[in-house]
Amino acid sequence: MKTFFRLVALVKPYLWWMALAAFIGFATTGSGIGLLMTSAYIIAKAALQPPMVALQVGIAGVRFFGLARGAFRYAERLISHNITFKILAKLRLWFYDAIEPLAPARLMHFKSGDLLQRVVDDIQSLENIYTRVLGPPLTALLVTALMWFLLGSYSVSAAMIILCFHTLAGIGVPILTMQLSRGISVGIMKHKAEEQVLALDLIQGIGELQLYGNLPAHLAAMQSAETGKLQLQRKNAVIEGLHESLTGLLMNGAVITILWTLIPSISSGATANGIALSVITLAVMASFEPFLPLPSTIKHIEADQHAGERLFEILDAKPETIAPANPIPFPSEHAIQVKRLSFTYPGSTAKALDSLSFSVLPGEHIAIVGPSGAGKSTITALFMRFWNSREGCINIGGHNITLFDPEELRRNIALVSQKTYLFAETIRENLTLAAPGATDDDLKKALTAAGLSHFASKLDEWCGQHGMKLSGGERQRIAIARILLQRAPIMILDEATANLDGITEKEVTETLTAISAGKTLITITHRLKAMEKYHRIFVLEKGKIVEQGVHSELMAGNGLYRRMWELQHMTELG
């Protein structure tokens, strides 16, 4: 239950609102009880044909409780739904604020479909924490106290009877339901998560599944997950019908028992009369209404606890990089020194980088080249502090980058990666990520400089999911526009043109060359094109620098760089 109490702590700011909603829910049920009691009184009293004045109190009570019940029901729904939506918004913001520092290092072991399930469905299930878990038991408890007071004024034995039956309905039936439905809610959530992962894998990898002949097996796995979920949902429906029937059975049992107890005393005239008995009977029947949702409360506790465990599994992870207690400002002098930098990814034994050392002067343009798997992109990840290295260091302006606030560091290093990510928003919103205070004129100038002058009039055009309404070249140019707006003194191009066609690659490369003038530029690539423009080139193999120099010097040798250049250019010529 530790997870459940942690979840309850998250909604603690809304405690008084939840108490108010529960009290109004009690008032709604109480008005329903009062309505039936006064209605029973009028019907039973009218059967004795009294003067009209004797029915006035009952008539006024019916009017009052009828209007009050509708008003209280509306107020209860209004307040409870408002609380629910506030709790849901708080949970989403809380989860995003907690998960954002974990990316990408701590999230690499989770599949995107599984993360999506946690972000959407698991948090969505927690909206029940008040309406289905915390509120109903409190309302039922207040109704039990009300019935003890009402029936106790007529008969203590009747009050004891209703207390026993309410206890069975409020504790016994939920416990029985819990035993019968143990694991069902969790099982349904697991099947949904499995379906989410399989569906996303199908959408993103249908080509590979067809190529390797695994599509039928993948579809069979999806069908199996759906079948398992439907079976659990059917079982869940049967159990829900059962607990509703049991609650109804207890209600009838309470009515019969109370009648059995009170009728002899009424016949002898020792206690209340027959009119009171009819009033008590309908009050008992109405009092069981708030007990109907209680068995579901147990199932929602189980589901909420499972959802909470899945969320806390991520959130309890310690971020790979954290801001220092007293970060220093980013220096105005941007000389870069990499000293004996080594890094090994978690779960791997091979070093991605092995005692790497090099320096970059302010305004210098260097290229880091090498075959796939040489460790080039790891350098980018360490520069941006997506990961921390346990061996060696990266200094900028003579200061270790771990002394800077990570956000401040990233604002001063502009990155264009192989895959530019665009949010499913407008072009304007994707650009202002780099400069939140940028004006329309700033955005238009950046787009024009990036070769997208025709987009200057389309700032409010939607980019599509992952920017798929735009071509690969347009997405890369959007990235270029963003780094123009960012105005960072250091630029890193990590395979920035790897997925572009030859013509677009040439245009994007020329644009990047133009905007990098006067800035420190680190280009990371395996494609050896326009290498003559770089002041120095570092050749990386198995995490180590095996060659360095300018293009002409490296071509004069007979090393890896020349072999890569000849292979690529011979392939292009061929």
Task: Write the pLDDT tens digit of every residue in 464-485.
Answer: 877 888 887 888 888 888 988 9
CB 246 within 8 A of CB 173: yes
Q: Within 10 A of 336 (CB to CB), how many other CB atoms are there?
A: 21
pLDDT of the residue at 168? 92
Map residue 355 onto helix, strand or coil.
strand
86-109: average pLDDT: 79
pLDDT of the residue at 572? 53
Of residues 448, 441, 442, 479, the one with CA closest to residue 463: 479
pLDDT of the residue at 429? 92
pLDDT of the residue at 574? 47
304 has pLDDT over 80: no
394 has pLDDT over 90: yes
pLDDT of the residue at 123? 79
Question: What region does 425 belong to: left with phi over 0, alpha with psi -120 to 50, or beta?
Answer: beta
Residues 6+ apart with CB under 8 A from 56: none
- Own/partner pairs for 213-219, CB < 8 Å, 24+ apart? none
258-272: average pLDDT: 71
Q: Please, what sign has the CA dihedral across residues 244, 250, 253, 257?
A: negative
573 has pLDDT over 60: no
Please, which pLDDT band fits residue 393 given cuts at 50, 70 and 90? Answer: very high
- What residue has token string 């409190």? 138
- What residue has token string 């270029």? 480
543-572: average pLDDT: 86
Count of alpha carbons within 13 Å of 230, Cβ hemisphere only? 6
Domains present along the chain, CATH in parentheses = 7-315 (1.20.1560.10), 336-573 (3.40.50.300)
Q: Please, what sign has the CA dihedral across residues 487, 412, 398, 370?
A: negative
Map residue 348 onto helix, strand or coil.
coil
Each residue's pLDDT tens digit, 397-447: 999 999 999 889 989 999 988 788 888 889 999 999 888 888 989 998 888
Show the tokens assigned to 432.
């202002």
DSSP label at residue 168: I
Show the tokens assigned to 433.
């990520």
pLDDT of the residue at 372? 83
128-132: average pLDDT: 70
| Average pLDDT taken over every residue of the chain | 85
Q: Give kind and range of the element (H or E) at residue 314.
A: helix 294-315
Each residue's pLDDT tens digit, 312-363: 887 787 777 888 889 999 998 889 999 999 998 887 888 899 999 999 999 9
Please, which pLDDT band fits residue 499 given cuts at 50, 70 and 90? Answer: low
Q: Higher confidence at residue 269 or residue 521? A: 521
pLDDT of the residue at 5? 78
CB 39 within 8 A of CB 282: yes
Of residues 551, 473, 550, the one with CA closest to residue 506: 473
DSSP label at residue 390: S
pTM of the predicted structure, to 2 decimals: 0.68
496 has pLDDT over 90: no
493 has pLDDT over 60: yes
Q: Higher confidence at residue 267 or residue 532? A: 532
Distance (Å, whole) CA 416 – CA 517: 16
pLDDT of the residue at 85? 84
Each residue's pLDDT tens digit, 211-257: 888 888 999 999 999 999 999 989 888 888 888 888 889 999 999 99
Distance (Å, whole) CA 293 – CA 554: 76
pLDDT of the residue at 342? 92
Each residue's pLDDT tens digit, 186-218: 788 788 888 888 887 888 788 888 888 888 899
19-32: average pLDDT: 87
pLDDT of the residue at 51? 79
pLDDT of the residue at 340? 93
pLDDT of the residue at 271? 52
Show the tokens assigned to 489.
């003194």
